[in-house]
Every structure is written in structure tokens, then in C-alpha cells.
Amino acid sequence: MGNRIDPSFYDQITARNSANIKEKIKRAVVGIAGCGGLGSNAAIALARIGVKKLVIIDFDKVESSNLNRQQFFISDIGKKKADALASFIKKINPFVKVEKHVIKLSLKNIFNVYKDCPIIIEAFDKVSEKAMIVEAFGDKRFKNKFLITASGLAGYSSSNLIKTNKLSKNIFICGDNKNEGNENNGLMAPRVIIAAGHQANMAVGLISKIY
């Protein structure tokens, strides 16, 4: 699809990007670990501003209950999330390369899958998966990469409680660090999108520094 579009259209799509970072964004490669509420929203934000490449990972399929916060359509139900997200991204910005992996990320494969990504956005749902990726950043193979993780984004309490904080020299954490998703503290688009926006914006901040 991208091959048939005039390359100058990229400049038209990204005309309102900040001029001083536009060229850096064009070269940026970002990993997205999980294509659900956080991942689909963060990926689309970064696709809209025209990053060079997104490496997206998710083994799961789209379900009807995902539509309250995740960037999918009714027609996507039953499709692999990574496939559906890649397709949506191409409709927004066909110049963004999408490398998709329909796999379960683990400490066995994460170092290889993300070897070319200097920035990784953690967008998992389960505590065990979030802990796994933070643990991976304790390994020397990831010592020069940056992780943007999320913790605390459920419910509908104040938007202003969601912050971006530095956890270590190369790990940032977005969220209120408190509101965990459960039956009475639902995962809903407004707050999930705020947290995903924090993650995407932190990625842009890092892109401005490392590219």
C-alpha cells in the first residue's frame, strides 16, 4: 500500500508535528509489548506522528469486551490483535512499518524480538507479565534501552493522578500506581487512553534525546 502512495504524503500527514523533532520521529523504532488497551492506543498515537517502525506483540484475539477501550472495530472480533492493529495503523499512516509477532512474550524471546528497539512500551494487563518485562531490564542486554511501563489506570478517579515518573535510569512508569483493574474498578477508555498517552508522550521525549 505504502509503495503506491507519493512519499510527499508523509510530510503532509506529519505537517503539524513539532519541526525540531520531525526528522527524529521519522527514524524512530519503538516496541509495543501488548496490543490491548494501552498498547493499541499508544501504538496508534505513535503511528499518527509517523515513527519509522513499530514492533508490536500480542498472542491474543479481539473480543467484544475489548471494544470499550481498545482501538478495534466490531469487524475485528475474533482476529488476532496484532493483525488487526497492524491493519488499522496502515489505514492511518501507510509509511509506518509494522513488525508484528503473534507470540507470548517471555524472558526466553524478549531479547531477540526487541533487539532493534531502543524504546519499549510495556502494555500488558497481568501483573506477572508486567513484572517479567521490568525484570528483563535488569539484564545487561537491555541496559542501553528504555522501558516505559504502566501501573494504575483503572476506574474513573481523577485524571490528574496519572503521572509519568522515573523508576530508574532507563525505566519510566506511567499511571497512578494504585488503581488496579477489577470488577468494581473497571478498565475504561478515558483513563486507559490517558495512561497510554503518557506512555506515547514519554516515548516521544526519549526519541528527542536518543535519535
Residue numbers at the binding site for another protein (CB under 8 A): 34, 36-39, 123-128, 130-131, 134-135, 137-138, 149-154, 167-169, 171, 173, 175, 177-181, 187, 192
Q: Give 13 or 193: the residue with its C-beta nearer to another protein.
A: 193
DSSP tag of 182:
B
d(CA 195, CA 173): 10
Q: Minimum Å distance from CB 95 to another protein?
A: 27
Q: Give 89 or 123: the residue with its C-beta nearer to another protein.
A: 123
HSE of 1 in the Cβ direction (CA atoms, 13 Å)?
13
Q: Minimum Å distance from CB 24 to another protein?
A: 26
Q: Give 24 or 122: the residue with its C-beta nearer to another protein.
A: 122
Q: What is the DSSP string of 16-69?
A: TS-TTTHHHHHH-EEEEE--SHHHHHHHHHHHHTT-SEEEEE---B--GGGTTT
Q: In what order do the strands lie in the sheet with 53-57?
A: 97-101, 53-57, 29-33, 119-122, 146-150, 171-175, 163-168
Q: Minimum Å distance from CB 73 to another protein?
A: 20
Q: Minimum Å distance from CB 178 to another protein?
A: 7
Q: Give 13 or 173: the residue with its C-beta nearer to another protein.
A: 173
DSSP tag of 167:
E
Q: Give 27 or 178: the residue with its C-beta nearer to another protein.
A: 178
Here the cell at position 206 is: 526519549
Q: Minimum Å distance from CB 72 to another protein?
A: 15
- Say whether 143 sits in a helix, a strand or coil: coil
Q: Minimum Å distance from CB 117 to another protein?
A: 18
Q: Give 128 or 144: the residue with its C-beta nearer to another protein.
A: 128
d(CA 171, CA 135): 11
